[in-house]
Amino acid sequence: MTKAEIFEKVQDGTGMTKKESSEMVEAVFSIMKSTLESGETLKISGFGRFEVKQKANRRGRNPQTGESITIEARRILTFKPSNLLRDAINK
């Protein structure tokens, strides 16, 4: 599903204009993005939890040359679905 399809679903479900629905969805995405950028956990009841985790430096290897390298520390985004969402998917 694309962003445009989400706009249309919101428009159909709420009776808003296409412009209003796109602005509302963009505002929600903007709030979600800024929350995650600041390192906070985003929990949506009945849907799941988005969490930013810190990964430490670690040793790795270049598969082509076999050379040992250090993989730099970074932040990653994880998602854990709620039990409700998991059950709905597995019906």
pTM value is 0.77
**H or E, element range at 77:** strand 74-81
Measured at the CA of 76, the angle between CA 74 and CA 79, to 5 degrees, comes to 170
pLDDT tens sequence across 21-32:
999 999 999 999
62 and 26 share one domain: no
51 and 33 share one domain: no
Q: Which of 48, 27, 49 is nearest to 40 (CA)?
A: 49
30 and 19 share one domain: yes
88 and 59 share one domain: yes
pLDDT at res. 75: 95
Q: What is the DSSP letter of 57?
A: P
